Amino acid sequence: MPTHATHLAVTTRVYVKPAEARLATIHLYRRFLRAVPTVVRLYQMDMPLAIVRSKLRQEFERQRFVSAMPVISVLLAQGNMEYQETVNFWKQKAQIFKYFSQEEYPERYARKGFVDKFLEGTA
């Protein structure tokens, strides 16, 4: 199945008004949400759709309090590129699963106290 490079492309633009940027962000978020079943199928992910959607929400929430319009414009451009690369299956599985490493190995990311670090030899 050949892919067309411009199939899902969105023109990059500089947002001046916060309302425009907000609408573009909501549009991008909805595009990602609609694509979750396709992404799970394409990348043969063995996880429920709810976890993927939750991680997607988490990634958007991480940038919630960015207020500089040039930064928001760059983030939206990057988000649109991520969407295009993901849905066109231009990424490798490892690039997708890097977002889910914390859910896959929670013991690796658990907060460790001094005693835990001492016993591992990292303190």
**Domain boundaries, given as residue ranges, for the chain:** 18-120
Q: Is the dihedral of CA 48, 111, 99, 14 positive or negative?
A: positive
Identify the three-state secondary structure at position 105: coil
Task: Please tell me the predicted confidence (pLDDT) of residue 120.
Answer: 77
**What is the distance between the alpha carbons of residues 22 and 107, in angstroms, rounded to a whole number?**
36
**What is the distance between the alpha carbons of residues 32 and 7, in angstroms, rounded to a whole number?**
15
* Burial class of residue 52 (count of CB atoms within 10 Å of its CB; 0-12, 13-18, 19+): buried
pLDDT along the chain (123 residues), means of 10: 68 92 97 96 91 93 95 96 92 88 64 76 68
**What is the distance between the alpha carbons of residues 87 and 81, in angstroms, rounded to a whole number?**
10
For residue 68, the Cα-to-chain-centroid distance in whole angstroms is 20
Task: Please tell me the predicted confidence (pLDDT) of residue 69.
Answer: 96
Task: Please tell me the predicted confidence (pLDDT) of residue 121.
Answer: 75
